[in-house]
Amino acid sequence: MPAELRDAPLTLPRSRAIVLPAFLRRLPSRLLIVAAFLVMLAPVVTVMTTSVFRDEIISFPPSGLTLDWYVNAWERREFARGFVTSLQVAALATCIGVPLGTAAAYAIVRGGLPGASAMSTLLLAPLAVPAVVAGTALYMFYLRAEFWLDRDIAATLESLVAAHVLLTIPWTVRLVTASLQGLDRAAEEAAANLGARPLTVFRRVTLPAMRSGIIAACLFSFIQSFENLELSLLLVGPGRTTLPVAMLNYLEFRVDPTLAAVATVQILLVAVLMLVTDRFVSIARTV
């Protein structure tokens, strides 16, 4: 064997064999991102589109377009009433749950209480319990309480709001705790050393730092309550149905564009609400 061949390296030159161009290397993750947005938005866009289809049985392409379903949605009072009930419940649950949760989160992070971590586990527990389980348990509990106290509890607005407060507290504790943990204690100590009273320190240093957490908590609490179906299923009463439950009841016996019309109105209202909120506080920075 000639020497030059014997000495030739047996391994292939260590070329960086396949160097894909940057756009190809990023392609898989780009595709996943596109798929994620498609999965999230496709059903919403479809619902909005079908709300103007003329045919009672939704099919593509439609034989024509109409706004009649919006009229029908307005005439079926259960949707308008459901919308008002959902708004009421979500607003009340947010107004009760966020202050309670914020106070608790502050005490857990800053209070140095014994058992703070156990307390935090308890307050976050509603997130770990499937809502359908919590809902059935509450339903049984309300019926039992009715029997003991001899007054209406189940299917009242108060009991529904109380159940929804259970949704708002863990989200508030979670989000406010996160914002407090990001605040350096040194800032509070500096203020105190400069002579600020504890209440002033709280009002001028701690509270502003919690602000974004509290706003995020309000937003998420409202969302959680407003769109909740599973917890409310057994807790709503005749004439006091939330919008998601009203929609499910309707959809279980007929699928026509009325529901799409209701959904579109809801979607537009929600979009306006979010864009207005975003003008005052940047949503991207709060979450």
Partner 1 sequence: MAALVLPAGLLVALLLVAPMVLLFRISLNEYSPTEMMREATTAANYLRAVGDPYYRSILLTTLTVSMGSTLLTLGLGFPTAYWLARMESRWKSFATIVVMFPLLVGNVVRAAGWLALLGNGGAINSSLMGLGLIASPLPLIYNTGAVVLGIVAVVLPYMILTLSAVIESIPRQVEEAASNLGAPSWTVFRRVVLPLALPGVAAGSVLVFVLCMNTYASAVLLGGPRFKMMAPAIYDQFVRGNNWPFGAALAFILLTITLVLTILGSAALGRRYRRPKEELS
Among 2, 9, 112, 195, binds partner 1 (CB under 8 A): 112
Among 165, 180, 215, 218, binds partner 1 (CB under 8 A): 165
Which residue bears the tokens 């203020």? 191
The answer to whether 64 contacts partner 1 (rule: CB under 8 A) is no
DSSP 12: P
Which residue bears the tokens 């496709």? 42
The answer to whether 89 contacts partner 1 (rule: CB under 8 A) is no
Among 93, 166, 210, 218, binds partner 1 (CB under 8 A): 166
- Taking CB under 8 A as the binding criterion, the range among 5-13, 71-79, 200-208, 226-234 that sits at the site for partner 1 is 226-234
The answer to whether 136 contacts partner 1 (rule: CB under 8 A) is yes
Cα–Cα distance list, 10 to 1, 7, 245, 266, 276 (Å): 14, 8, 72, 70, 68
Among 155, 173, 180, 201, binds partner 1 (CB under 8 A): 173
Dist CA 209 CA 211 (whole Å): 5
- Taking CB under 8 A as the binding criterion, the range among 3-11, 32-40, 148-156, 192-200 that sits at the site for partner 1 is 32-40
Among 1, 3, 24, 40, binds partner 1 (CB under 8 A): 40
Contacts for 124-127: CB closer than 8 Å, 24+ residues apart: 124/170, 124/173, 124/174, 125/170, 126/166, 126/167, 126/169, 126/170, 127/170, 127/171, 127/174
The answer to whether 133 contacts partner 1 (rule: CB under 8 A) is yes
The answer to whether 108 contacts partner 1 (rule: CB under 8 A) is yes
Among 44, 65, 157, 187, binds partner 1 (CB under 8 A): 44
The answer to whether 111 contacts partner 1 (rule: CB under 8 A) is yes
The answer to whether 247 contacts partner 1 (rule: CB under 8 A) is yes
Give the gyration radius of the chain's Cα atoms. Answer: 27
The answer to whether 130 contacts partner 1 (rule: CB under 8 A) is yes
The count of C-alpha atoms lying within 13 angstroms of the C-alpha of 192, restricted to the half-sphere facing its C-beta, is 9
Q: Which secondary structure element, helix H or strand E, spans residue 209, and what is its range?
A: helix 207-226
Q: Max CA-CA distance within the chain?
A: 105
Q: What phi, psi does 237 have (nearest 5°)?
A: -120, 170
Nearer to partner 1, 4 or 278 (CB): 278
How many residues line the site for partner 1 (CB under 8 A)? 91
Residues 187-216 binding partner 1 (CB under 8 A) are none
Dist CA 164 CA 97 (whole Å): 9
| Nearest distance in Å: CB 249, partner 1 | 10
Dist CA 167 CA 92 (whole Å): 12
| Nearest distance in Å: CB 124, partner 1 | 9
